[in-house]
């Protein structure tokens, strides 16, 4: 008698290469795969005096087209941890959602506030196991018991711990602002100004970034999510007219004509009486 049952085990992890041959055959025949919706982005983070400030632009692109003018790139991970994502939109959303759920389960298990390194390790292990095919480049920031932390995570799974970080197509423009203006011990307002300047540099100098600036300030025990903190592109194309059209057609006369006669029902009628 054998206690061993043949269990169909799920694959242990890593990338499943089953469809690669088929994709290869299709592309040789001229059928190209659908293009990804990329966030083509500027995302930044800095460590300031009391914690971490994250910033992001709000443009999502599908090739040359802007498919979402005001998307949210700063994702929630834990009450004290937020993560900005650049790269393929689906990948950043899915991976941050997944790790956010894992963090919550972990919090129930340990009964304590999540730490930034936990999120970092979960994310990097996942991305590494997919060997770079999950194209998510992230800026992870938060404040936990050990202090403020800021990390960057690359699609292949490597991470850096930095005082200021930028990712995405607009990262060079934003980095030029940081390298010239960052210093340690910034106050909250100075930090928000610096982050906004860096994102604006990305918005105006990089074609993959645009629209508005989102900012998220995380300090010990408190967070502020400033959605659309700056709208530098709002009135750019507003047509300037010296005259205005009236908002709706002018009402001259109101008269109600009922289409059907109102029928008077008299009680105690004879017809139909039972």
Partner 1 sequence: MQFTDAKLLPDASSCSLDSERTLYPYVTGTSVVAFKYRDGILMAADMGGSYGSTLRYKTVERIKPIGQHSLLGASGEISDFQEILRYLDELILYDNMWDDGNSLGPKEVHNYLTRVMYNRRNKFNPLWNSLVLGGVKNGQKYLGMVSMIGVNFEDNHVATGFGNHLARPILRDEWNENLSFEDGVKLLEKCMRVLLYRDRSAVNKLQIAKITEEGATIFPPYSLKTFWGFEAYKNPTIGAEGSW
Strands 81-87 and 74-78: antiparallel
CB of 90 to partner 1, least distance (A): 27
Give me the least distance between CB of 147 and partner 1, in Å please: 5
Instruction: Please report how close the Cβ of residue 129 comes to partner 1 at its closest, in angstroms.
Output: 17
Q: What gap in Å lies between CA 173 and CA 125, rounded to an integer?
A: 30
Q: How far is the CB of 197 from partner 1 (least distance, A)?
A: 8
Nearer to partner 1, 149 or 229 (CB): 149
> Is residue 189 a contact partner of residue 215, using CB atoms and an 8 Å limit?
no
- For residue 181, how far is the Cα from the chain centroid? 26
User: Which of 41, 61, 159, 166 is an active site residue?
Assistant: 41
Closest approach, Cβ 60 to partner 1, in A, equals 22
Identity of the residue, 89 or 114, whose beta carbon is nearer to partner 1 in the bound complex: 114
Interface residues toward partner 1, by CB under 8 A: 47, 115-117, 120-121, 144, 146-147, 149-151, 159-163, 172-173, 175-177, 179-180, 184, 197, 201, 204-205
Measured between its terminal Cα atoms, the distance across the chain in Å is 84
Minimum CB distance to partner 1 smaller for 172 or for 226:
172
Percentages helix, strand, coil for the chain (3-state, rounded to 5) are 25, 25, 45
* 149: Cβ contacts below 8 Å, ≥ 6 apart: 47, 52, 116, 117, 120, 140, 141, 142, 143, 161
* C-alpha span between 20 and 226 (Å, rounded): 42
Q: How far is the CB of 171 from partner 1 (least distance, A)?
A: 9
- Judged by beta carbon, residue 15 or residue 204, the one nearer partner 1 is 204
- Decide: 45 and 55 in contact? Cβ < 8 Å: yes
Q: Cβ atoms within 10 A of the Cβ of 261, count?
A: 6
Question: What is the Cα–Cα distance from 16 to 134, expressed in whole angstroms?
Answer: 12
Angle at 135 between CA 96 and CA 155, to 5 degrees: 85
Q: Residue 89 or 218: which CB sits closer to partner 1?
A: 218
Report how far residue 226's alpha carbon sits from residue 192's, in angstroms, rounded to the nearest whole number. Answer: 10
Question: For residues 112 and 227, which CB has a smaller minimum distance to partner 1 in the complex?
Answer: 112
254 is catalytic: no
As annotated, the active-site residues are 41
């Amino acid at each position: 008698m054998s206690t061993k049952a043949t269990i169909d085990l799920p694959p242990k992890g890593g990338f499943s290469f089953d469809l690669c041959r088929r994709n290869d055959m299709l592309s040789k025949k001229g059928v190209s795969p659908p293009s990804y919706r990329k966030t083509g982005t500027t995302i930044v983070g800095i460590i300031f005096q009391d914690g971490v400030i994250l910033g992001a632009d709000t443009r999502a692109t599908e090739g040359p087209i802007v498919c979402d003018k005001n998307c949210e790139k700063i994702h929630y991970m834990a009450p004290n941890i937020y993560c900005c994502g650049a790269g393929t939109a689906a990948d950043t959303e899915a991976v941050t959602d997944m790790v956010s759920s894992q963090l919550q389960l972990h919090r129930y298990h340990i009964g304590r506030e999540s730490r930034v390194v936990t999120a970092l390790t979960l994310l990097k292990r996942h991305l590494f196991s997919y060997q770079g095919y999950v194209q998510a480049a992230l800026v992870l920031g938060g404040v936990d018991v050990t202090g403020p932390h800021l990390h960057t995570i690359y699609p292949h799974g490597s991470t850096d711990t930095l005082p200021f970080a930028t990712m995405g197509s607009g990262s060079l423009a934003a980095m030029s602002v940081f390298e010239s203006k960052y210093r340690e011990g910034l106050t909250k307002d100075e930090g928000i100004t610096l982050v906004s300047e860096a994102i604006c540099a990305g918005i105006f100098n990089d074609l993959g970034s645009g629209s508005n600036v989102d900012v998220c300030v995380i300090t010990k025990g408190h967070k502020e999510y400033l959605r659309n903190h700056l709208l530098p592109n709002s009135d750019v194309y507003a047509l300037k007219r010296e005259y205005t059209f009236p908002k709706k057609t002018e009402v001259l006369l109101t008269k109600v004509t009922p289409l059907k006669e109102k029928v008077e029902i008299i009680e105690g009628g004879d017809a139909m009486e039972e």
